[in-house]
C-alpha cells in the first residue's frame, strides 16, 4: 500500500499541489500554471510524476490523489462543466487522471467542498463531523458535509450556496444566468458593486469617496474605522449571509459554520454582522451553532484533497 498521497486544487490560473504522507504530514507543496483545456490533466499528472521522481518515488508509492475542481462533479468523478478551466463539456477527471498516473485511485469533488474537507481534517473544524463552509471570494462557493459525507447531490450541484436566491426581485444577474444570487451581494465583486451604488445614490459622507479603485478590503477597513456608509454595506452583507446560514441550518443542522476566502479576512466584523441576523432568523434549536474563520488559507484545497485520497471525508 502506498505511503503518500497528492492533494490537488485546480484553479483558473494556478494548480496547487501538495505531496503528503497518509498521516497528513506535508512533504512539499508546489504550483504550476493552469494549462486550460485538454492539456490540463496531462500537465497536472506530469507535475506529480516529476515530483515523485525528484523524491526517489514512483506511482506505486501513492495511495491516491484527491482533486478539487471549480465546477459540479458527479459521483463518478466527472466534472460536468468547468468554464473557467476550458472544459465546456463533461470531463471524466477521475478515470482520465488515474490512467495518466498508472492506475492510481483519484477522487474528485468541487473546490469549495474540498476546502471544507481540509478545514475539517486539519483546520478550524478539526474533529467535527458535520459542517457548512462558505467561501467568499470573487464568487461565493459552498461546502456542505453531513455526518462525515460531502453532499454532492444527484448531479454534483449540491452545496452551491452561492446560488441561493438572496434578492427575489430586481437582483443583479449572476454568472450562472440567474438574477439575485447570494454571490451577487456577498462576494468581493458584489460588495464593491453595492458600495459604489450607495456612494452614487446616498448623501452619507464616506471616506470611500476618496478611494480610486475600491476593493472589498477597503470597505471593511472603513467600517472598522466607523465609516457610516461602509457599516451599512457590512450590515447588508451580514443580513444576506445570516439569512442563508439560518436556512441551511434548518436543513442540515451543522455542528459549525466555517467562513473562508478573501472576504473572510475581514475577520470578526464580518462574523458579528452575520451572527446578528443568523440569530434573528434561525430555528430555535440551532441558534447557538458556532461561526469560525477558516484557518488553512490557500492550503485548504490541497489538504482536503489529501484527506480524500487517504479515505477521509468523501
Residue 313, pLDDT score? 63
DSSP reduced 3-state for 27: strand
Q: Which position has the higher pLDDT, 176 or 218?
A: 218
Give, in degrees to the nearest 5, the angle at Cα 141 between 138 and 146. Answer: 160
Residue 27, pLDDT score? 97
* Mean pLDDT of all residues belonging to the chain: 94
Average pLDDT over residues 247-268: 96
What pLDDT, in 10s, does the model give residues 62-79? Answer: 999 999 998 889 989 999
SS3 content of the chain, % helix, strand, coil (to 5): 45, 20, 35
Average pLDDT over residues 113-140: 93
What pLDDT, in 10s, does the model give residues 16-50? Answer: 999 999 999 999 999 999 998 999 999 999 999 99
Q: Which of the residue ranges 80-84, 93-97, 211-215 would you say has the lowest mean pLDDT? A: 80-84
81: how many CB neighbours lie within 10 A of its CB? 15
**Local confidence band at 1 (pLDDT 50, 70, 90 cut-offs):** low
Between CA 47 and CA 36 the distance in angstroms is 15
DSSP reduced 3-state for 82: strand
Residue 153, pLDDT score? 86
Between CA 157 and CA 233 the distance in angstroms is 29
Between CA 59 and CA 36 the distance in angstroms is 24
What pLDDT, in 10s, does the model give residues 265-308? Answer: 999 999 999 999 999 999 999 999 999 999 999 899 999 999 99
Phi, psi (rounded to 5 degrees) for 179: -120, 150
Residue 67, pLDDT score? 97
Residue 218, pLDDT score? 98
Please list, residue by residue across 58-67, b when 16 or more beta carbons sit within 10 angstroms of its beta carbon and e when fewer do.
Answer: ebeebbbbbb
> Of 176, 220, 175, nearest to 194 (Cα)?
220
What structural domains does the chain harbor?
Answer: 4-119+298-309 (3.30.420.40), 127-295 (3.30.420.40)
User: Which stretches does DSSP call E strand in the chain?
Assistant: 4-10, 14-21, 26-33, 62-69, 78-79, 91-92, 106-110, 131-136, 140-146, 149-150, 256-260, 291-293
Between CA 226 and CA 141 the distance in angstroms is 29
Residue 277, pLDDT score? 98
Q: Which position has the higher pLDDT, 208 or 12?
A: 208
Task: Write the CA distances from 60 to 2, 4, 21, 103, integer angstroms.
Answer: 6, 9, 14, 9
Q: Which position has the higher pLDDT, 232 or 83?
A: 232
Residue 190 and residue 184 in contact, taking contact as beta carbons nearer than 8 Å: yes
**Local confidence band at 154 (pLDDT 50, 70, 90 cut-offs):** confident
Asked if the model's pLDDT at residue 314 lies above 70, the reply is no
Residue 81, pLDDT score? 87
Between CA 238 and CA 137 the distance in angstroms is 15
The upper half-sphere exposure of residue 202, i.e. CA atoms within 13 Å in the direction of its Cβ, equals 16
**Local confidence band at 214 (pLDDT 50, 70, 90 cut-offs):** very high
Amino acid at each position: 500500500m502506498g505511503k503518500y498521497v497528492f492533494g490537488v486544487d485546480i484553479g483558473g490560473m494556478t494548480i496547487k499541489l501538495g505531496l503528503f504522507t497518509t498521516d497528513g504530514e506535508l512533504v512539499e507543496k508546489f504550483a504550476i500554471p493552469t494549462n486550460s483545456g485538454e492539456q490540463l490533466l496531462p500537465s497536472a499528472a506530469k507535475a506529480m510524476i516529476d515530483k515523485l521522481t525528484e523524491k526517489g518515488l514512483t506511482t506505486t508509492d501513492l495511495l491516491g490523489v484527491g482533486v478539487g475542481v471549480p465546477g459540479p462533479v458527479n459521483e463518478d468523478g466527472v466534472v460536468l462543466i468547468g468554464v473557467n478551466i476550458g472544459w465546456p463539456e463533461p470531463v471524466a477527471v477521475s478515470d482520465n487522471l488515474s490512467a495518466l498516473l498508472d492506475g492510481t485511485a483519484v477522487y474528485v469533488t468541487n473546490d469549495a467542498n474540498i476546502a471544507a474537507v481540509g478545514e475539517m481534517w486539519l483546520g478550524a473544524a478539526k474533529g467535527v463531523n458535520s459542517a457548512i463552509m462558505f467561501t467568499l471570494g470573487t464568487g461565493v462557493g459552498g461546502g456542505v458535509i453531513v455526518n462525515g459525507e460531502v453532499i454532492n447531490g444527484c448531479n454534483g450541484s449540491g452545496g452551491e450556496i452561492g446560488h441561493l436566491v438572496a434578492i427575489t426581485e430586481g437582483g443583479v444577474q449572476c454568472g450562472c444566468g440567474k438574477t439575485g444570487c447570494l454571490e451577487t451581494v456577498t462576494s468581493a465583486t458584489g460588495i464593491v458593486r453595492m458600495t459604489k451604488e450607495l456612494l452614487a445614490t446616498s448623501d452619507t459622507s464616506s471616506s470611500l469617496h476618496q478611494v480610486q479603485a475600491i476593493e472589498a478590503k477597503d470597505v471593511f477597513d472603513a467600517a472598522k474605522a466607523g465609516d457610516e456608509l461602509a457599516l451599512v454595506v457590512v450590515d447588508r452583507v451580514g443580513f444576506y449571509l445570516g439569512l442563508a446560514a439560518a436556512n441551511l441550518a434548518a436543513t442540515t443542522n451543522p455542528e459549525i459554520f466555517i467562513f473562508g476566502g478573501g472576504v473572510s479576512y475581514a475577520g470578526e466584523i464580518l462574523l458579528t454582522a452575520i451572527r446578528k441576523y443568523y440569530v434573528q432568523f434561525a430555528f430555535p434549536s440551532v441558534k447557538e451553532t458556532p461561526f469560525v474563520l477558516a484557518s488553512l488559507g490557500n492550503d485548504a484545497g490541497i489538504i482536503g484533497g489529501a484527506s480524500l485520497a487517504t479515505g477521509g471525508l468523501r
